[in-house]
Every structure is written in structure tokens, then in C-alpha cells.
Amino acid sequence: MNESAAGIAAAVRAGEVRAADVTEAALARLAALEPKLHAFLHPMPEEAHRAAAALDERRKRGEELGPLAGVPVALKDNLCTRGVPTTCGSRILEGFVPAYDATAVERLQTAGAVIVGKANMDEFAMGSSGENSAFGATHNPWDLECVPGGSSSGSAAAVAAGIVPLALGSDTGGSVRQPGALCGVFAMKPTYGRVSRYGLVAFASSLDQIGPFARTPDDLALCLQAIAGHDARDSTSDPAADRFPAPALGSTPRIGVPFDLIDAGLDPDTRAIAERTLDRFQTMGAELVPATLPRPEHALAAYYLVANAEASANLARYDGVRYGRAAARTSGETLEHFYAATRSAGFGREVKRRIMLGTYALSAGYYDAYYLQAQKARTAIRAELVGQLEQVDAILLPTSPTVAFKLGERTTDPLAMYLSDLFTIPVNLAGLPALSFPAGRGPKTGLPVGMQLIGRPWAEMTLIELSRRAGAEAEWPVLA
């Protein structure tokens, strides 16, 4: 599906194409590519056909259609959808069917989008490669032997492969931006509080934020505006979320660059594209000024303490009693043994690891030494980033230190996997917006490289405009 979301919606509203035909094309491509990509856990052909038919009927009656009329969209499988399984890529939620839609899902439907399926993901959004799904790994459309990034692996792969022009993911430490970079598409983590988290299955509540994937900057803006806004059902939703300030950019925008990060720690392909991107920004008239970021190792340590502690608390609700998968009961078994059996069978290795680390950090005698110190570090990281952004319009750096790596290459080395999110984690700790855009393909591997723009609170449109001025554009992988 090479058409942009904006183009599809305009054609459907004008009656130049039926929403039913657009939906059928998306579902046909999904069916053709799914055996190779494994990007979807729950395709939704019946629901999609009904939604498209309803849109076509409304157009015939002369009703006004929304800004995403007839646009096929994929949803990460941690967004609740009424009457459709929502598993979070985990066996423990196998068979769970929500009775309501997430706010972001409601708003997509109100805008006229047609949801074609629930996308694969790392279990409970815990992972950087797309390999932690209990139902099998997603493959990168650019190289089927490589990871697509995670945890929003299926959403990124679906957009990159041309199945859908838009998708939603969730970003806790880079889980939208990192797969967006590795799959060569636009991906945004909005300001914390911009998009309602109501109906998003929680990983780390103070870090999670729903964000869009797209193939063009304009489509990214269109999707973000459709899902954003204050929501009284979400206590972390900000009243300022309804406002989208216009980009306040002059002819010479100031771009902060942490040159020390670009000069060291990148693979050859990423460094080459990063240097080319700096040249591109200078050519467009930007002033590049040195910037300093919080030490990545400090941000990494603070993130994994905060995120795992919150995950430990959030995932305690999965006990096999109220919903989801339950272990078989045996005669004389205590409730404690039942809980243990349910969680042992239902959770995967990475989720168990993070629950144990988080529980330890919150335990008596260690709370002050670990979790409290991590929160203090988080406050300092936000202050440092916000201070830097007072001097520049945005900060530019690579999204990931490397291009996509081979499937299985890092599964036995959790630390190496965690380092994949080295450049994305500080943004979540600070609650700031960031945009990953496709900057080119590495000269050695031919795989996509993403660059990241970090902005001030509520400055998403500024980041989109900067990527547009830099001439960023997505390419299409060659898929049979």
C-alpha cells in the first residue's frame, strides 16, 4: 500500500475509491506477507469489512467523514479492543477479550480509520527486538533474518512492509522509536500526557505513552492529532494535550548535537548515516551547536530500576483468577501454589526477570537504596534535558547505536539487548516528545538507520516540521 494515509482518506471522502476496496487490498497484503513477517497476532478481517462498509454507506448518505476515512491501521496488541483478543504477546492473557476500547482506539475509529488487526509485540512490551513474544518473533521486512526492533515490532513491520500506512505502538523506553528506526519508518513518542493511556495495558505507568508509526511526516501528524487530547478517564492525561502549537522555527533553526555520542559507540553504518544527516541539516540552514546529554549509563540504570519496579506492581494483578490463563487446580493446592503455577506457565523469561528485579528494588531495606535513588536520578535527567532544550529547537542524535541485528544474536545477553535503547530511554524518563525518522540505509548492510529529534514539551509539530525540512523519507523494502 504505497498510498499515504492522507491520500487514501481524501480519495475515500471524495468518492474516488471505496473504503471497502482499500480495506480488501490491505487485508490481501497482510495475508500474503504474514507467513514471512509474523507481524500480526489477531487479524481482524470481519471487523475491518464491517467498518469499511459502514463508511461507504455514510458517504453515500452525504455524511461528513473523518480525517482518517478508510485508512487501514494496525494496533499493538496491548491496546484494548472491544470483542477482540488482547494478549500483550503473553500466554497469561491468552483468551482475554476486553469489553471496551482504549481511548486511542475510540478516537481512531471516530476519525474514520479501519482497524485491520492487532500487531505482534514483545511480551508486555518488555524487549528491544520483537523476539520476546510468546507467539513467535516478528521479522524485519528489510531482512527477514533480522529483528524489527521492539517492543512494538509488529506495528513497525506492518507499516514498513506496506500492509498499512499507519499503526499505533507504545513507547516505554524507546519501543516505538527503536523499531521505527530499524524498519525505516517515521515513529513518534509524544509528550507524556499527550495521548490517553486509558485502555493501554500497563508496563510502567509513569513511562508508557502511545505513539504512531507512519511513512510520511504529514501522516504522522495526522495520526497524532486524531488520537491526542485530554481524557478524564486517565488521571495522567494533561489538559494541555488538546493544544498543538505551530512550529516556531526561523530560517536557521538551532539543533543541539551530542557529538561525543556520535563519535563513539556507533556501528559503522549508523555513524556514516549520522554524519550524512548532520550535513543535511546544515544544508537546510540549521545551526548545529554542541549539546550534552545525561550520561547514558546513568539513564539506563535509572530506567531499569523505575520501569521494573512499576512492572512488578502492575503485573501483580495477573493471578489466573479474574481473567486470562489459569493453571489447572489440584486437590489440596494452596492459593499461593496456584498463583505460582499460573505465573510460571503464563509469563515468559524476560517478564519474569523484570518482575524479580523490580520486586527486589521495592523490597524492605532496598527501596531507598535503589528505587528512591533512581527517581532522584530521573529528576536530574529531566532537568538536564529541559535545560539543554531551552537553548536549542531540538536535539539530534541516532535512535539506535546499531542497525537491525540478526534474530537470536542477543537473546542470551540481556545487557547487550538493553543497550539497544541507550539513546531513547532518557526521553521517557523526562516525559519529553521525540521523533525517529528514516535517515538512509547503511552503506555496508543496506539496512535502515533512524535519527532521533528530541523536543520541548508539547513541541511534536516542531519535530515533524524539522524532519520534513530535512527531506526525510521512507523507502520500500523489496518483498515478494
pLDDT tens-digit series, residues 169-178 = 999 999 999 9
Grid coordinates representing 275?
554524519
Give me the pLDDT at residue 148, please.
98
In 10 A of CB 90, how many CB atoms?
28
- Burial class from Cβ neighbours inside 10 Å (0-12, 13-18, 19+) for residue 252 reads exposed
Cβ partners under 8 Å of residue 38, min gap 6 = 120, 136, 137, 138, 139, 154
CATH (one of 3.20.20.70, 3.90.1300.10, 3.40.50.12280, 3.30.70.600) for 5-249+413-469: 3.90.1300.10
For residue 148, count other CB atoms closer than 10 A to its CB. 35
Rounded mean pLDDT of 347-356? Answer: 96
Nearest 5°: the CA angle 27, 30, 36 is: 165
What does the pLDDT look like over 206-224, one tens digit per residue? 999 999 999 999 999 999 9
Cβ of 401: how many Cβ atoms within 10 Å? 18
Please calculate the CA angle 193-175-99 and round it to the nearest 5 degrees.
65
Residue-wise over 313-334: b if at least 16 C-beta within 10 A, else e?
Answer: bbbeebbbeeebbbbeeeeeee
pLDDT of the residue at 1: 63
In degrees, rounded to 5, the angle at the alpha carbon of residue 188 between the alpha carbons of residues 239 and 13 is: 80
Express each pLDDT in 418-434 by its tens digit: 888 999 999 999 999 99
Nearest to 104 by CA among 164, 50, 167: 167
- pLDDT for position 420: 87
- Neighbour count for residue 246 (Cβ, 10 Å): 8
**Contacts (Cβ under 8 Å, ≥6 apart) of 252:** 285, 286, 287
Task: Render pLDDT for 223-239 as a digit per residue (tens, 0 to 9).
Answer: 999 999 999 999 999 99
pLDDT: which is higher, 24 or 260: 24
Q: Which pLDDT belongs to residue 367?
A: 87
Count CA atoms closer than 13 A to 193's CA, side-chain side.
16
pLDDT beyond 80 at 279: yes
Distance CA 290, CA 265 (A): 17
Known catalytic residue at 175: yes
Percent of the chain scored above 90 by pLDDT? 84
One of 133, 175, 400, 467 is an active-site residue; which one?
Answer: 175
* Average confidence (pLDDT) over 334-362: 93
Catalytic residue among 4, 76, 90, 312: 76
**Can you give the residue ranges of every domain in the chain?**
5-249+413-469, 296-374
Quote the pTM value: 0.96
Candidate list 4, 128, 129, 151, residue with the active-site label = 151
**Residues in CB range of 315: below 8 A, 6 or more apart:** 124, 347, 351, 355
